[in-house]
Structures are given as C-alpha cells and as structure tokens.
Chains A and B, each alone.
Chain A
Amino acid sequence: MRNVWVVATNTFREAVRDRVLYNLVFFALLMMGAAILVGQISIGIEESVIISLGLSAISIIGIFIAVFIGVGLVSKEMDKRTLYALLAKPIERWQFLIGKFAGLAMTLTVNTAAMTAGLYLALWTVKHTLASSDVYLLTATYLILLKLTLIVALAMLFSCFTSPFLAILFTVGIYIAGLFAMDLRRLQAVNLTPATMSMFRAVSYILPNFENFNVMATVTHGRAVSASLVGQCTIYAILYGAIVLTGAALVFSRRNLK
C-alpha cells in the first residue's frame, strides 16, 4: 500500500503543478456570472437554474479532466519514458497503476469539493440564505464524483493497450453509450428478433450505467435522493471500477515498454 500511496501523492502533486485545478477559476467565473444574470432574467426559478447550471458544470469539467488526464496517466509516462527509472524500483506494475488512479481520484475529489463549495456560494449570493434541502446537492456531487472515478478507470484501461487518441475516443464512446444503457435494456421494437433483443440486453448490462449517477432533476426540485440509490451506486462504482482496473493491470503488467 505504501508504494500506491507514494505514486498517488506524486500524481496529485503533478496535477496541481500542471495547473489542472485552474479550471476552478473558470467555474468560479461561470457561477459568478450566473448568479448576477439569473436574478435579472429568471424570476422565481433562480435557485433551480443555479443548481442545474452548477451541477452540469461540475459534471462536464470533471469529465474533461477524467478523460484527458486519465488517458495520459499511463501513456504520457510511457511516451516520455519517466516510467523507466520508476518500474526498475521495487514496485509492482499494478501498484503503479492503482497509484496513478488514486492520484487522479484525489485530484477530482478536491476539484469537485471546491466546485461544490462554489455552487453553495453562488446559491447563497442569489437567495441570501441556504435551505435544509440544499444539503441534497452534496449527494448529487458525490454521485458525480463516483461517475468520474469510473471514467478514469475506463480511460486508464484503454490507454494501456491503444494510442491516447483512440483511448479518448473509446472512453467518450463508452460514456455516451453508458448514458443510454437503461434505454437499451428496455428497448421494445417490433422489428427486432428475440436473439437481437437478448444481445442488446446483455450489452446493456456490460456497459457502465452512467445514467444511474444522474440525480440532477431530483435535487434541483429540492427532493432527497434515496439512501438505497446512493448505496447501490457506490457498490456498483466500486465493483465496476475494480473489474476495469483489474483488466488494466493485467494488460499493463505484460506490456513491453518502448
């Protein structure tokens, strides 16, 4: 575990020094602009507009970081050959891989936490108070964070066996497909054979179900997210993430460096 922690903290330091967290400035400007404008153009629905905008921004910015930095976590180290000296040390390859994953997960956690704080600040600016139902925002951002870590795991898996460009395409493709996993499962079309229906259903179970992590509509209307859904999403993300990372570790552990 010590090796994983050493790699993880260095990955976090890399993200900080490479100014990854500068996206927070963009988010802050977006929230400030929204807080000023929303009061003038949307009478009565300021709160829901701010929450929708804020959660969408947290999700989209997080996805960008998870995909682009997640793909580069391993591929950049292989391209620049920074891995050489490190992998000759007494460290297993899977420890390196999990360390890089944990480092980016830490970065995303800090980033998401800062953006959530910014969202609360924007809400307070608009309402001059915070309601007890606003605490549900934390559930929504927690689920966004789970989704982001799953995306990082997928990005790392693809980057272990293909080029960075293809890995980005695959990750984004799987993410988009994963948003429609439930639709695929429920698909009832008259012109499809039972075999095709079964195949779609099987694919829908294999794809990561990203729609489950989206509770924006619920929290925007001040409703609580059920504890069972949060629990299920947590277990799902852990299990799915573990399977994906195990696959990545298996591929990476047999990979010849250039």
Chain B
Amino acid sequence: MPIPAIEIEGLSKEYPYGFLSLKKKTSLENLTMQVESGEIFGFLGPNGAGKSTTIKLLMRLIFPTSGTARILGRSINDVPMHQKIGYLPEQPYFYDYLTATELLDYFARFHNLTATDRSERVQRMLQKVGLETAKKIQLRKYSKGMLQRVGLAQAILHDPEVVVLDEPMSGLDPLGRREVRDIILELKAQGRTVLFSTHILSDAEMLCDRVGVIVGGKLRGVGTPGEMVGIQSQGMEIAFELTEVAKRFSLLEKATKTGAVYRVQLPEAELYAGVDELKAAGARIISVSQIKATLEDFFMNLVDADRAQANAVEVSGK
C-alpha cells in the first residue's frame, strides 16, 4: 500500500491572546486527514476557517499545540524532506529588490541543483508562468497577479513530489486562473500530489479528486466533490417563454422570470404533468434540466450551521 503523501493526526493550534496571554483562541481543532499520493486535494473553507493555519503548520512556519503531521512518510520537522515539497504562500511577497530571474535562482540554490540546471529551470519556469518578458524587472514593479505567478514558479521549480498551494488563484485574472488550473492538472499528470486551499468552489469542483471542508477550525467532511454534495437529483427545472397566444395557467404563479424567460422548479414526479400544462397553455419550452446540489450549496449549509451554532452559544452565554 503506497504511503499517503500527507498524513495529519490530531493537529491543533491555539493562539494565546489578551492580558498576559491568558485567553486562548483555537484556530485548528484536532484535525485528522490524509492526502493520497498522486491526487489533487482541495482544502475548502471560508476566510479564517483554518486552511492557512493547517498549511503553515505543514510548512513548519508555525508550531502545533498538539498533534503530528507527516509528509511522504517523514516528519514535517525533517528538514531534508522539504527538498521534495513546493509551497506557495497566500498572497506571496518576495524580495522586491530582486528580479524574477534572481529570485528563482536564489530559491533554487537551496536545492541540490547545478548552476546550469538552475539557469535552465528558471527560464523554463518563467516561460511556464508567462513572465518571460518581465524577467529582468524588479519585483517591486510587479502586480499582485504577477507576484502570484512568480510564487507558483518558485513552488514547482525543483520538481517537488508534493505541491502545497495556499489560495493559488488569488489575485489572478480569468486567464491567469485558467493557466494555474492547467499547471495543477499537469502536475497531477506527472504523478505529483497537489494540496491547495481555496474558497472558490468552482475551482475545487473542476480540479479536485477529493476535497476537505473546514469551517471554524474543524474538519466537516472529506470526499469527492460528488460524495460531498450527494448525487441524487433535487428536482427538475423547466425554462419556458410565453407566446402571444398563451393562456394564464397555475405554473406561471410559481415561476421566476429573467428577461423573457420563465423558470419553474418541480418535483421529478410532477415533470410530465407540468410539461403538459405548459403545452396546453401555449408556452414555448426552452429546456428541461435536472437540479443537482452544488458544492457551493453544501459549503453554504455548513457555514450557515456553524454560524447558527455560534449564535446559539452566544445567546446561551448571555
């Protein structure tokens, strides 16, 4: 059985605050999960949910209050193991007195690469992230999106086995997001493991083999995007337009209107009756589609439940 790329067991992080640091805020509570080798794993959660905390713990930028984590079967505190990891921080900021070429060469020096190899990889990466024409400009003149691209380049420069990306689409335009998605898929095709955090659910649905949803520092579920939202149909939707000869009919009262198009949602068992009613009324049917829950629905339900729970605690506390 292959070793999981990332194993997290009971990881918690508390931050002391207040007078004499006597109070404690829990950012992450008893997180246990695995990321399998070769998969794209999406770490989902609203802002402040604990995604970045988890990633920073894995990158040993902060230290856990309790729990352990291993990457490629080795402790995260095993420094040589980090040769095999690539990391893109959230909203990355780099030495602004360096050019992109100099920065990538600087980071490449921490890996066992020869000068020729470094130079070749740096040029290849700059080309890959679309910064070839800006490679001699100091980073202080870069836009947020360009810095994000440099960050991605430094994360994958040394062909890491595990790539951890904290909000990789942040600050990118649609074209940039598409390019990052392509790079993530390319990494998977090469057999790499990718863990990325995001709150953009469409990216997760499009890319991930599995997702983990974290809300309020607690992991609320792990599975494929399909498993997470359930695959059963939530009903049917009929889109239609009214013709000049159309008569008034009962479904019209339930419909919502966008421009000239009406949409009505029905239980699956009532679909045929609904279609007959529309035909009889002289309406023109545009489309009939199945309604499925999205990852967004699942996500929003969790966040709403979390907020309701927090409010209940607050009210009972009063």
Contacts and interface: CB of A to CB of B under 8 A. Distances in A.
Interface of A: 2-3, 6, 10, 13-14, 17-18, 80-92, 254, 256-257
B89 A81 contact: yes
B249 interface: no
A85 B110 contact: no
Main secondary structure of the interface of A (DSSP, over half): helix
B85 interface: yes
Contact of B110 (A6, A80, A84): A6
A85 B94 contact: yes
A73 B31 CA distance: 35
B63 A14 contact: no
A85 B151 contact: yes
A82 B61 contact: no
Interface string B48-66: 0000000010011111000
A234 to B, nearest CB: 31
A146 B30 CA distance: 50
A90 B89 contact: no
Nearest to B138: A17
Interface string B75-90: 0000111110101110
Contacts, number: 70
A6 B113 CA distance: 13
A17 B95 CA distance: 11
B109 interface: yes
Among B81, B91, B95, max chain A CB count under 10 A is at B95
A88 B97 contact: no
A13 B87 contact: no
B91 to A, nearest CB: 8
Given A18-B97, A88-B61, A90-B111, 19 more contacts: A3-B110, A10-B106, A14-B97, A17-B97, A81-B91, A83-B61, A84-B59, A85-B88, A85-B92, A85-B151, A85-B155, A86-B107, A87-B60, A88-B89, A90-B79, A90-B110, A91-B110, A254-B63, A256-B62
A91 B83 CA distance: 9
Nearest to A93: B60
30 contacts: A3-B110, A6-B109, A6-B110, A10-B106, A13-B97, A14-B97, A80-B93, A81-B91, A81-B93, A82-B94, A84-B87, A84-B89, A85-B87, A85-B89, A85-B94, A85-B107, A85-B154, A85-B155, A86-B107, A87-B60, A87-B61, A88-B85, A88-B87, A88-B89, A89-B82, A89-B111, A90-B82, A92-B79, A256-B63, A257-B62
Contacts of A88: 59-61, 82, 85, 87, 89
Contacts of A92: 79
Contacts of A18: 97
Contacts of A85: 87-89, 92, 94, 107, 151, 154-155
Nearest to B92: A85
A97 to B, nearest CB: 14
